[in-house]
Chains A and B, each alone.
Chain A
């Protein structure tokens, strides 16, 4: 059994390209589920899974409530819904108020995932133009998980990764193109 059970990713402005850069290189037998909260327009109709799935070897789909999280699958928060993880590691959705002007909110996903996965979680915060995600990342760290923050110099919008750096919650600050390798090294190390 590996050291980790799940990966959570948050992003906003510039997030599509950043997500592609992180997900596309990952092998189809990537052993962890990946949960994603990406800010999007409420009426965008959930086109993101199709766009991301086109070049990615993992199974990309919109998160459905009550679904179990499975290795090698990418679950995206639906537009206008928060995505949460229950302690039994099934997915939940909510239409609770926006957090940091956002629904889905990265903090909401990260906080619930930190409670559910504890030390066995990897959190990744990518490009974005507000501070959503920093509080959630701190919680992941406090619960003993590992936090990767995209190097703001490689981010289309720096505010989001910079907010995490400002409160000192990054275990690793990594250039966008190196994130997949770092992620894989964690997974291999854990499994070795």
Chain B
């Protein structure tokens, strides 16, 4: 048997152990990336093979956060893909401003850079005070970091550039205080943000959403799982609500494709079509 095939078996057994022992089901994730992440875990823990970690996964209490941390690698930046934030500012927020209250759900918020970007956008467009933002992830340590609102100083040059390209009305430095090599984002940005643990694969709808952002999470799922999660998003969105996906993600081949019309097809911003049966 080829080494790669043995490796595949290890991954499969590991994912089954994780599912049966801890209730986290990664078996419908795209396998190639999962394999890479698990290789990272093996290396970090100083082991040779994934098989060596399976007993620990079953018996050691502190293994789960470590595993979840390595399987949902948080990669994000402030105003990442600035043209999307520009489109949200120009095309989506004006529509949301007609609602008396606005709920925004960012699914898979990772360490929170995007959710703070969104908060800045809402402040500048005068919507912040009537908005609740729910920022969720399965990675608790990422959520804890998101709540801290501390970002490395060396990233700020890129973030500032992104902010301006996203149509920023002031300077990004209006929203943070620099201390040593880190910046602390303005506490008031957090006032209406709720950070919470939520697993889009297993957990249900928890609010009526007017804008749902989930960027670059669906690419990690199998086609069936993508469909299941998109259906969850559809159930959460109000009639006329907006869905924003990653720039290489699509709803075209999903079972909810007909329920949405594109606001901006290239930027993957869609609107839930008004339909009679939808609330």
Contact = CB atoms under 8 A, between A and B. Distances in A.
Interface of A: 64-66, 78, 81-82, 84-87, 92-97, 108, 111-112, 114-116, 118, 142-144
B37 A96 contact: yes
B86 interface: no
B13 to A, nearest CB: 16
A115 B31 CA distance: 11
6 contacts: A84-B32, A92-B33, A94-B33, A112-B35, A115-B7, A144-B2
Interface in B128-163: none
B73 A97 contact: yes
A96 B75 contact: yes
Contacts of A118: 2, 4
A95 B246 CA distance: 10
A143 B8 CA distance: 14
Interface in B31-50: 31-33, 35-37
A142 B2 CA distance: 10
A87 B31 contact: yes
A114 B4 contact: yes
A108 B36 contact: yes
Interface stretch (B174-182, B195-203, B215-223): B215-223
Interface string B113-137: 0000000000000000000000000
- Ranked nearest first, the 7 interchain pairs of A and B with the lowest CB-CB distance are A84-B32, A115-B4, A112-B32, A92-B30, A94-B33, A95-B216, A93-B219
B4 A65 contact: no
A152 B216 CA distance: 37
B177 to A, nearest CB: 27
A95 B2 CA distance: 28
A92 B36 contact: no
A21 to B, nearest CB: 28
A135 to B, nearest CB: 12
Contacts of A108: 36
B219 A96 contact: no
Contacts of A97: 73, 75
A118 B7 CA distance: 13
Contacts of A95: 75, 216, 219, 246
A65 B218 CA distance: 10
A112 B4 CA distance: 10
A136 B179 CA distance: 41
A190 B32 CA distance: 28
A112 B248 CA distance: 20
Contacts of B60: none
Contacts of A115: 4, 7-8, 32, 35
A3 B230 CA distance: 41
A97 B35 CA distance: 14
Contact of B30 (A64, A86, A116): A86
Contact of B8 (A85, A87, A94): A87
Given A64-B250, A78-B248, 14 more contacts: A65-B249, A81-B219, A92-B30, A92-B33, A93-B219, A95-B219, A96-B37, A97-B73, A108-B36, A112-B35, A112-B36, A114-B4, A118-B2, A143-B3
A143 B35 CA distance: 17
Contacts of B3: 142-143
Contacts of A87: 8, 31-32
B166 to A, nearest CB: 13
A92 B223 CA distance: 11
B4 A66 contact: no
A94 B4 contact: no
Nearest to A113: B32
B155 to A, nearest CB: 14
> Which of A66, A95, A97, A114 has the largest number of chain B CB atoms within 10 A?
A95
Nearest to A97: B75
B160 to A, nearest CB: 15
